[in-house]
């Protein structure tokens, strides 16, 4: 258990911030949490010291199922009722793993990297209860030596009003597994701020992710080029760490017979050098790492290209998942002068109203050290930055964002080449803000080198640089209609648009005000919103944002449109024409014209008909049944839905066929029962 270095009191300002957050946000989102920027209950934070840890970490000691409202943890020290907590599955991959599989590896829906925020409602013994926020995903836990290394962790998330990090000061993540090789927690620096984060120092998870392989002195040329996954040091150098805990066993803890060694990478963990002094592979994350360099030129089979294989690229959405970078593999050595792999970058997860200052935010992988008379290790991969701000994400001066891969280690032996290490792959940077002005880098680490220019492959001697990672920005939507500069008399005009990805939550702003409900884009990314309240006859503006985890993206384009007063509807009756005579009283057609109208209703003979749709300015209706002979009047009114026209009338005569009986005459007496009626 590690408690924060900086204790802060809850403040009244936090209550005000909470009220503001409630007023600004709807009651629920489709995203994994509803906590927005937090409630500011930890008040303002000013950091003046380097290496300040603001989080408290503890491991889950039992599995937690979907729907659970509590988790058992190793220790609740440092946690309190009303705390915001991130449950994070940092490791524990249980799928099929093939040593040396190149990837990329799809972690879009994998349990590793999943997170959820909960609000603590009670503390009982070693149990965190969060009645109001049941888990929407399962998280693993355990108590024995194996399960501890697959367990999720619970991390207390401070909720500040403002954060100020002065020059020379830093907020850092507790390094992953730094205290106990089995009790794996840490690697994440996370906090929320309802106000501005002013960073003139550093926010860092550099080197805080999965561990690079330890160097362990091995034998000489006692291995084969296809040695991918062996459980003995003679099988090659140690592999780096990735999300499969059982495949990482440092020799200083598990002794010589147990470490997992060999050339093959394990997902994003770099493989170790094999044979005789080949270099370790770089770890992977947003980009794959680089392969380790060749074996020693003085070997019986010199300069074989069998360096440690690189960690693969990890595919995931940083808006919903966050991952550590993979550790670099160790270089192979038999003279006790080789080097292990570099540690990977961890995770920086920050939400706030805005970012300002000349400081840097980093989750870089660490470069492997240089070797003297053996091979060098691979660089650690860059980690993940998840930076979400409702306002601008701005850097001044030398301020940067970085999740770069570490460099492969160099081999400095001048008499004959030994294998340098491969570079670590770049990480992931996910940004969400109203504006962006921070230089960002997810570059892969450089390949290690050796000093003999005439060696095979030149200075790199077969080692390769890491591949660049991925930078994504918050998915701003596009508003299509009403088109900019358009006008309409429809007081509830449909607002349509698109989102960069399907099934995204969209919030509409009309005249700068958020509408009371959100909509979700469909499988093609299209969305439609109809105002619930009619808009006034005036000029209006509309823009939209997507909402991810309670935080809005950059705004879309803003369209200005005008609601105009609807023209007065008119109506005219053309048939039956006024003063005309209708000789066929059956199925009389009543028709006419209408302008600025959508429908017409009319009355005839005491009966109402319609509404009749206006098409192309015309309307028509056939009256069923015969009309009585004589004078008839039809009266019609058109409407546009809000305004009715003046009534139009037409009076006509129905003169249908008639019949008369002349015999027997009315009132007469018939004496012959066979008389004819005429």
pLDDT of residue 30: 28
157 strand-pairing partners:
84
Q: What would the pLDDT profile of 166-184 be if each residue is shown by its tens digit? A: 999 999 999 997 555 556 8
Mean pLDDT of 417-439: 93
Residue length, the chain? Answer: 678
**Spans of all domains in the chain:** 12-192, 478-563, 570-654
pLDDT of residue 60: 94
CATH of domain 570-654: 2.60.40.10
pTM of the model: 0.73
> Are the C-beta atoms of residues 635 and 673 closer than 8 Å to each other?
no
Residue 649: is its pLDDT beyond 80?
yes
Q: Which of 187-201, 220-234, 570-584 has the lowest mean pLDDT?
A: 220-234
pLDDT band at 272 (very low <50, low <70, confident <90, very high): very high
**Rounded to whole angstroms, how far apart are CA atoms 376 and 490?**
71
**Rounded to whole angstroms, how far apart are CA atoms 477 and 481?**
13
Which two structure tokens, joined as six digits, stand for 68?
């659970």
Q: Which of 582, 657, 593, 655 lies closest to 623 in space, CA to CA?
A: 582
pLDDT of residue 258: 59
| Phi-psi region at 503: left, alpha or beta (left = phi > 0; alpha = psi -120 to 50) | left
pLDDT of residue 345: 98
Which two structure tokens, joined as six digits, stand for 406?
């570490």
Residue bearing the bigger pLDDT, 300 or 520: 520
**Rounded to whole angstroms, how far apart are CA atoms 95 and 402?**
31
Q: Please check whether the two domains, 478-563 and 570-654, share a CATH topology.
A: yes
> Are the C-beta atoms of residues 132 and 63 closer than 8 Å to each other?
no
For the stretch 580-586, contacts whose Cβ atoms lie closer than 8 Å and that sit 24 or more positions apart, written own/partner, are 580/652, 580/653, 581/652, 581/653, 581/654, 581/655, 582/627, 582/632, 582/652, 582/653, 582/654, 582/655, 582/656, 583/655, 583/656, 584/656, 585/626, 585/627, 585/628, 585/629, 585/654, 585/656, 586/625, 586/626
pLDDT of residue 148: 63
Edge-to-edge strand order for the sheet containing 586-595? 570-575, 586-595, 618-626
Q: What would the pLDDT profile of 216-258 be if each residue is shown by its tens digit? A: 887 666 565 455 555 454 568 899 999 998 888 777 665 555 5
Task: Please state, for a pLDDT cut of 90, what percent of the chain lies above it.
Answer: 67
Which two structure tokens, joined as six digits, stand for 663?
């015999």
Mean pLDDT of 509-536: 93
Q: What is the largest CA-CA distance in the chain?
A: 150
Dihedrals phi, psi of 651, to nearest 5 degrees: -105, 130
As a whole number, the mean pLDDT across the chain is 88
**Rounded to whole angstroms, how far apart are CA atoms 542 and 530?**
12
Strands 648-654, 630-639: pairing is antiparallel
pLDDT of residue 146: 58
Give the HSE-up count for residue 405: Cα atoms under 13 Å, Cβ half-sphere: 48
Which two structure tokens, joined as six digits, stand for 99?
């040593």
| Strand, helix or coil for residue 233 | helix
Instruction: Collect all residues with Cβ–Cβ distance below 8 Å to 221 and sequence separation of at least 6.
Output: 275, 276, 299, 300, 301
Cα separations (Å) of 292 from 173, 252, 417? 29, 23, 13
Angle of CA points 502, 89, 125, to nearest 5°: 130
Q: What would the pLDDT profile of 100-148 be if each residue is shown by its tens digit? A: 899 999 998 889 999 999 999 999 999 999 999 899 899 998 866 556 6
Q: Which of 4-18, 205-219, 252-266 has the lowest mean pLDDT?
A: 4-18
Which CATH superfamily hosts domain 478-563? Immunoglobulins (2.60.40.10)
Residue 625: is its pLDDT beyond 80?
no
Residue 377: is its pLDDT beyond 90?
yes
> Are the C-beta atoms of residues 573 and 590 closer than 8 Å to each other?
yes
Residue 80: is its pLDDT beyond 90?
yes
Q: Which of 241, 347, 240, 326 lies closest to 284 in space, CA to CA?
A: 326
Q: Which of 396, 401, 425, 261 lies closest to 327 in space, CA to CA?
A: 425
């Amino acid at each position: 258990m590690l408690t924060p270095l900086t204790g802060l009191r809850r403040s009244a300002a936090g209550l005000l911030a909470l009220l503001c957050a409630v007023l600004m946000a709807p009651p629920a989102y489709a995203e994994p949490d509803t906590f927005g920027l937090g409630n500011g209950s930890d008040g303002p934070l000013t950091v003046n010291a380097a290496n300040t840890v603001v989080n408290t970490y503890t491991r889950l000691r039992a599995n937690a199922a979907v729907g659970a409202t509590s988790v058992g943890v190793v220790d609740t020290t440092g946690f309190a009722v009303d705390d915001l907590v991130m449950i994070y599955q940092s490791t524990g991959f249980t799928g099929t793993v093939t040593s040396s599989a190149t990837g990329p590896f799809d972690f879009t829906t994998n349990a590793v990297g999943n997170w959820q925020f909960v609000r603590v409602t009670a503390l009982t013994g070693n149990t965190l209860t969060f009645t109001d926020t049941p888990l929407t995903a399962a998280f693993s836990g355990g108590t024995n030596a194996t399960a501890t290394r697959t367990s999720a962790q619970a991390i207390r998330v401070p909720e500040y009003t403002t954060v100020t990090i002065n020059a020379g000061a830093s907020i850092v993540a507790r390094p992953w597994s730094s205290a106990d090789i089995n009790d794996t927690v840490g690697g994440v620096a996370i906090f929320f701020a309802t106000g501005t984060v002013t960073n003139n120092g550093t926010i860092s998870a550099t080197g805080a992710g999965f561990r690079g392989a330890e160097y362990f002195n091995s034998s000489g040329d006692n291995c084969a080029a296809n040695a991918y996954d062996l459980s003995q040091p003679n099988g090659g150098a140690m592999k780096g760490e990735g999300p499969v805990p059982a495949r990482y066993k440092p020799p200083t803890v598990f002794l010589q017979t147990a470490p997992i060694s060999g050339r093959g990478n394990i997902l994003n963990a770099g493989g170790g050098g094999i044979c005789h002094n080949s270099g370790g592979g770089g770890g992977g994350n947003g980009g794959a790492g680089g392969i380790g360099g060749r074996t020693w030129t003085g070997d019986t089979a010199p300069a074989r290209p069998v360096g440690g294989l690189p960690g693969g690229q990890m595919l995931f959405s940083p808006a919903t998942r966050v991952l550590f970078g993979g550790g670099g593999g160790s270089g192979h050595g038999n003279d006790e002068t080789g080097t292990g792999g570099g540690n990977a970058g961890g995770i920086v997860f920050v939400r706030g109203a805005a970012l300002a200052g000349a400081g840097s935010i980093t989750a870089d992988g660490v470069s492997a050290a240089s070797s003297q008379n053996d091979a060098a290790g691979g660089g650690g991969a860059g980690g993940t930055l998840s930076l979400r701000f409702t306002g601008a994400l701005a850097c001044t001066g030398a301020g940067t964002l970085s999740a770069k891969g570490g460099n492969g280690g160099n081999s400095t032996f001048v008499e004959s080449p030994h294998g340098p290490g491969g570079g670590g792959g770049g990480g992931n940077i996910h940004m969400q803000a109203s504006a962006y002005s921070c230089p960002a880098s997810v570059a892969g680490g450089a390949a290690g080198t050796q000093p003999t220019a005439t060696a095979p492959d030149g200075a790199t001697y077969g080692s390769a640089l890491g591949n660049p990672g991925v930078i994504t920005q918050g998915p701003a939507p596009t508003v299509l209609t009403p088109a900019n500069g358009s006008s309409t008399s429809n007081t509830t005009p449909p607002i349509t648009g698109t989102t960069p990805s399907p099934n995204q939550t969209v919030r509409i702003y009309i005249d700068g005000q958020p509408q009371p409900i959100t909509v979700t884009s469909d499988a093609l990314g299209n969305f439609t919103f109809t105002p619930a309240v009619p808009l006034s006859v005036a000029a209006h503006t509309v823009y939209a944002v997507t909402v991810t985890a309670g935080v809005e993206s950059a705004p879309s384009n803003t369209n200005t449109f005008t609601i105009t007063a609807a023209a007065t509807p008119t109506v005219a009756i053309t048939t039956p024409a006024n003063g005309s005579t209708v000789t066929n009283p059956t199925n009389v057609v009543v028709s006419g014209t209408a302008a600025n109208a959508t429908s017409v209703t009319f009355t005839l003979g005491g009966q109402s008909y319609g509404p009749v749709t206006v098409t192309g300015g015309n309307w028509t209706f056939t009256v069923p049944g015969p009309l009585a002979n004589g004078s008839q009047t039809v009266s019609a009114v058109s409407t546009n839905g809000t305004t009715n026209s003046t009534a139009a009338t037409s009076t006509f005569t129905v003169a249908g066929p008639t019949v008369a009986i002349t015999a027997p005459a009315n009132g007469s007496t018939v004496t012959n029962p066979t008389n004819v009626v005429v």
